[in-house]
Chains A and B, each alone.
Chain A
Amino acid sequence: MSYFVFGFYALLLTASCLAAYFNKRTWFLTIFAFTLVSFVLGIVGGTSVLRNVAALAGLLALAAMVSYAFREFLIAIASNNMAKELRTAPLTAAFGLFVIFTYAIAGIFAPWIAPHGEAEVIATAFAPPDETMLLGADQLGRDIFSRIIYGTRNTVSLALSGTLMAFILGALAGLLAATTGGWFDQMLGRISDVIMSIPALIFALLMLSIFGGALATDTTSFALLFVFAMVTGLLVVVARAERSIMSWVIGLAVLVAAAAGFSIGMLVLFNPSEVILIMVVGVIYAPRVFRLTRAVAGNVVVMDYIEAAKLRGEGKWYLIRREILPNSTAPLVAEFGLEFCFVFLLVAGLSFLGLGIQPPTADWGSMVRENATLISFGDITPLIPAAAIALLTVAVNFVVDWMLHRSSGLKEQ
């Protein structure tokens, strides 16, 4: 028995007595349950386990304090309306916002934060940590910490673009299907049924086996991007042009120019194999977004104000943009968060399998795979990028949970 153990139990028991004295039932139950659990763990595992438990509890408390402070900070800088919303946020949601904020900073300012370059070899393979390398070197002697920072930028931006593609295509198709109805609606529904009945990871592997490798060239990815942009844009043209031939012609001309511009822009931002990954993700997840948008918009379309707008002679594009979209923002935003989590996990999984983001680009999934041998020596460094993936997904989920709750999508007693 050391002073640490005495101090540990004394602190816990004092805290639970205080909680009981001031009639804080929840706090008392939490702290007392924690005391009992640490009793059991202490008897089974000894002092070292107790130290770990204390460290974990400290970490949780720290996270809670950080999220509390961050929420107060957000309330202080936000406008009145936003501040009112933010006051309803539970600590978990504030924590999620804080994590997302941190990742955004790390991703945007990666070159300034990271002490070394992304693919810069500075040491021998698997060199241990020293004062220049916070987490040591990887299998080629590159600084792991710098690569994690750069990985934020690469992994998150890729997952975000994939989600955006899926979302734009899926949401547009869903909105148009809900307003048009009839065979168009049926056809899109059946197509999405078929795509959704292939498991996401398997479908991604199938498509990557075809478009990956030698086919990942500028021409192929340009063609894919162009086709994707044309299909998406065609939905807009269909909604806008109604029946006049002139607007069809103008719409199509604008569309071709816009699609070419978009494709070239994407190729400047990403290399061909990343573009193919983004497209694969877009095709796989668009049907899931379509389903939800179709369901949400389907509920709005039957409203009287839509009927009134139709009688006024408004076109489909007006209906979508001014009537349906503003009334289905909340579930769509929440869905965006959820889809982002799925896409992020899929991209991380593909990279882990060596089929996603290609080296030497730093990426969390492939970093885990490359350094996995260290785990058999009891070193946890390879788990840090994996933990970074998990942390971001948890954070987004926390925020989405709060938003769903706020828009009262969930019924709870």
Chain B
Amino acid sequence: MGDILGLIAKRLGLGLIILLVISAIIFFMVELLPGDIAQAVLGQGATEENLAALRKEMGLDQPAIIRYLDWLGGAVTFDFGNSIVTGSRVSAIIGERFRNTLFLATYAAAIAVPLAIVLGVVVALLRNTVFDRVANVLTLTSISSPEFFLGYILILYFSVNWGMFPAIASLSQDMSFGELLYRTFLPALTLVLVVTAHMMRMTRAAIINLLASPYIEMARLKGTPPWKVIVRHALPNAWAPIINVVALNLAYLITGVVLVEVVFVYPGIGQALVDNVSKRDFPVVQACCLIFAATFILLNLAADVGAILTNPRLRHPK
């Protein structure tokens, strides 16, 4: 067991370092601006006194490294300072939205992950049949389509033509859970379509890769039925790649969410990011980027740890 714990600790440490480097990139990229944030806020026509006053207020008179440490210290407690456009707390702007985005991503993942694994196994079982070919073309199409294409097609059919689901995912505090699921069904479905296709293809590839192994040959020769070969013999050994695939696609979901939120006007963090990029409200952009990057890294870490934990060779050392 000690080996595994050591490996995991090493991986966690590496993840932490990468997160630190990325937070530095996100912070210091804004420093690349000619002039500084105060200049960007007040515009070209600002007087020297106004600039100096604002710099003092925002703490810009201190060296960049101290401001970075300050910002990082705040970020750990979910405090990202004030917006430079509206002046309100950044955490107040994105706090609620972050929860909404997490809800949408979890909703999509709860449907997509089981669906993708089952379909992936079925397609692997039926490989090189017509069904497999059709599934191949369909999943490829779904992966290749931009999220907004799928989103608008769903809106066109499910909401405009058939009137089954609302096109705009407006949320309010006093909604029941069922109502919430109903209102966010179309954005979740869009994400499910994209992510399922990816996961399904990779699950199929992971299982088919294993089918060439000698122990599968053995199982087949002793007369095990094909579905049992896959479920009993191939699947347990395919867990590591599959967990990897799942985590990677959940990470992908995090970015897919940005476009989907804009299509469905969903009050999430992705939409906040896009709005504030065009407004050039740097503290909000930095906070959103840091949150997205941290989630992405966390999921990648989870994938690595999962792969370590499901590896039988590491779990039962000789």
Residues on A facing B (Cβ under 8 Å): 26, 29-30, 33, 92, 193-194, 197-203, 205-210, 212-213, 215, 341, 345, 348-349, 352-355, 365, 368-369, 372, 375-378, 380, 382-383, 386-387, 389-390, 393-394, 397-398, 401, 410-413
Digit string of B148-185 for contact with A (CB within 8 Å is 1, else 0)? 11001101100011000001000000000000000000
Q: Give 12 CB contacts A-B under 8 Å.
A: A193-B18, A198-B289, A199-B254, A199-B292, A205-B285, A210-B33, A212-B277, A352-B259, A355-B278, A369-B148, A397-B140, A413-B212
* C-alpha spacing A345/B137, complex, angstroms: 18
> When A198-B293, A349-B259 are in contact, do A209 and B146 touch as well, CB less than 8 Å?
no
Question: Chain B: which residue is nearest A354 at the CB level?
Answer: B278
Closest partner residue, chain A, to B30 (CB atom): A210
* Known pairs A352-B259, A376-B160, A394-B140; A345 contacts B30 (CB<8 A): no
Q: Whole-angstrom distance between the alpha carbons of A300 and B234 in the complex?
A: 32
CA distance A381 to B273 in the complex (A): 29
**Is B251 a contact partner of A199 (Cβ separation < 8 A)?**
yes
- Are B262 and A194 closer than 8 Å at their CB atoms? no
Give the chain B neighbours of A377 by CB distance below 8 A: 160
Q: Give the residues in chain B near A26, CB-CB below 8 Å.
A: 130
CB contact under 8 A between A376 and B167, given known A205-B277, A209-B282, A386-B149 = yes
Query: Does more than half of chain B's interface fall in helix, strand or loop, or is it mixed?
Result: helix
| Cβ contacts B122-151/A at 8 Å (1 or 0 each) | 000001111000000100110111111100
For B251, what are the chain A residues with a Cβ–Cβ distance below 8 Å? 199
A198 touching B22 in the complex, CB below 8 Å, given contacts A210-B33, A394-B141: yes
Task: Give A212 to B277 CA distance when docked, in angstroms.
Answer: 9
The answer to whether B29 touches A206 (Cβ under 8 A) is yes
Out of B155, B259, B285, which one reaches A375, CB within 8 Å? B155
What is the size, in residues, of chain B's interface with A at 8 Å between Cβ atoms? 59
Task: Give Cα A375 to B143, complex, Å.
Answer: 22
B243-264 with Cβ < 8 A to chain A = 251-252, 254-255, 258-259, 262
Q: Is B189 an interface residue (CB 8 A)?
A: no
A356 vs B39: C-alpha distance when bound (angstroms): 25
State whether A386 touches B160 (Cβ < 8 A): no
Question: Is there an interface contact between A411 and B25, defined as CB atoms closer than 8 Å?
Answer: no
Task: Report the bound CA distance from A69 to B235 in whole Å.
Answer: 42
